[in-house]
Structure 1
Amino acid sequence: MKLTLIGLVALMFASVSHAELPGTPKLYITTNGTQVNLYWDEVSGADNYTLIASNSNDGSLVGQFDLGANTQVDTVLPPGSGFFVSIRAGNTEGNSGFSLPRLLLVPSVPAEIPSVQQVIQNYARNVIFNTYIDLAEQTKLLRAAILELQLETTAKNLHQAQNAWRTARRPWEQSEAFLFGPAETLDLDPALDSWPINATDIQNVIDSTTPLTTETVSAFEPTLKGFHVIEYLLFGSNNNKAASELTARELAYAIAAATALSNDAQTLADAWSPNAGNFLAEFSKAGAGSTTYPSLASALQEILEGMIGIADEVGTGKLSKPLAGRDPSLVESQFSANSRTDFINNIRSIRNVYTGTYLLSEGPGLNALVKSVNPALDEAISNQIEKTIATIYAIPQPFTESIISNADSVQAAINETKNLVALLIDQLLPLARSVR
């Protein structure tokens, strides 16, 4: 075969610039009766995702489903059906392995109506505490990935550290429907996730002679530590950081900030842990000995205010403010282009609270109480949560460009988020206030 000079150069370039195999996604499932929601962490470098389903009785293959670039599936399944489901990512270089199979069961008969106390206890245990445990674990893995990057500052290790940041970001964003208790009283919310940050201030720290130890960074003001400082150091100002650009001071800062982040996440988990601060018991004993929550209604009020608060923040803050000013600098998680995923996970935090589920843990949720007295309202809330997620997902990436070139899609997401807020305030909140 005869190659021209141009063809030879193109072949050589292709051999050194090929894409890497994508990592394996992590699959999550939430259910609400026969309504099933599957979603997975977006894998950097993935062009498509494939879902495999097997029969839960004998493991026989049901089918493989090409889902394109989608990172979620919403469907209704027959009562009594059961499957093992897994997800894999693919690109031009091939496919990742399938994720660990998750058991998906759709109940054949309606669940018994839980008591309000059971819903509150499940919320504290299976939603809040499990989310914080996950956050503590994922931030430890983020720190480990940055340490590996410092030892070998390669493009591959930078890529892995960036993915670790995105993965750790998920449980934090899914915790934003319950930023009360220790997250508030211990000032852990600003320490973990202050926004906006100032790149000039960060550069001043890098250029200074301040020792970049865990102790010094932990003592910094919130805008000089936390998720977004680490994001800026790993991704650069426009998601284009190269490993060769990382300086020793930047790496030291990233490690110290990641250690401080991990410590704060562990403090938050410990504050709820039965073996430590045990705010879990304080919340679970609402109306039965809790000094913070003297009645069941006061605990339900806290739950609903958290749901309403994050829905309103997404609609009137995270989506509306950048759109109103057509100002990309106001977009949260702009350095990593993770903004849209952040917003979706915020609404998923509402779904987790409403259904009483997180990862492998599930139990009675608010939905069971609502359905028992007003099935139409339960259906309306569930549908509005999913519609809000879908309209946010429909915003083209990156979000920083969509606020200028796809304003209508951003406005549609704002409208649906505000519809969700109105539904929670006008119809769900009065139900909570009627509880004694």
Structure 2
Amino acid sequence: MASPRLETFCCPNRDASTEFVINFQPVFFSAICIGSAGVSLVFSILQILPKRRGYRRLGQYPLPKPASSSRILFIISVCDILGCAGILVRSSIWLGLPDLVSGISDTSSSDVWPEVFCVGTAVWIQLFFSASFWWTFCYAVDVYLVVKRSAGLSTIVLYHMITWGLAVLLCVEGVAMLYYPSISSCENGLQHAIPHYITTYAPLLLVLTVNPVLFARTVSAGEPHPKGRQGIYTENERRLGTEIKIRFFKIMLVFFICWLPNIINESLLFYLEMQADIKASHLKNVRNATLITWFIMGILNPMQGFLNTLAFHGWTGFHVDLTFQQPRELAWDSASTSVAAAGGYNPIVGSTLHYQSHIQEAKKTMAANGQQPSDAISVLSEGNRNDRSPVYQGW
């Protein structure tokens, strides 16, 4: 799981509420994290691998360079996989080497490796899940700007600078504040912990609050305008708009399911910290709710990787194609955000999603009428590529 409490756990003089949740059934909790992270890791990798069935083999057609939004979806999956791998490694070590965990609390020991491992894995997990949050925000921004046709010539490099720069900056700043001046003296007051919690939850809250607004505006901006268009194109746009709404709803649903328990759990833990005695009888229900959300986090946080791939692409199947052929390059503008900016036609195989055939019909109809196809159709439909998994054409 990914929680700032795990960074405070690395402090020998950790607070009482952190001690309470960490020491409750640690073996069972680690086993749950291993199971959830293992399942998510395996199926996430399986999801993003190219598939044989209905997959357009490299070299069969000239392959265009994928749009920025398509690359962002792939990077989000990679960040989720790396964060999930960190959870798997940490939980496995904690379960297999209990002496290492107990060494974190031993202030008399001169062995620094327990604390190094604890801090290193905690920072690794926070960094990649934080980067996943920032990339999810950039995805919403990128799609919205393309639909509004106000993005100009955007480049994926700009998104890399924003996401990785902010993720590293906030992670380093939060950890430095928490462990200043040393690990043994952290948690001696809220002035150490609060900045760390803020830097951890800032990108999470940003996605929870801003992304739904951006997605709603994107759908609204991409709604069809039947005036001056043929009926078949308007109907195709309407069908595509429905698919777009469903996909955006799935993305936000996965995010809320996986990370809302973190916010609830952190609120309960802060409430317990404010109490003189967290073991008081009148706090029994609060303690139970805290433990329940704690174990839910252990299950849902690692599952974000797999659930995200389902939201992005749907179930892509087990038919993995590991053969490699050198793709033939086209002279595409690498800075272009949308593949369909020039109204070009891309060959489509038979197993493409049904509504994507309507997109191609719409493009042909618009080209025949001397009109340009919509950037919204091209960019917003690129995540729904179940069997072909063409998001990997550019990687």
Measured against the shorter chain, the TM-score band is under 0.3
Report which structure shows greater RCO (CA 8 Å, sep ≥6).
2
TM-score (norm 2): 0.28
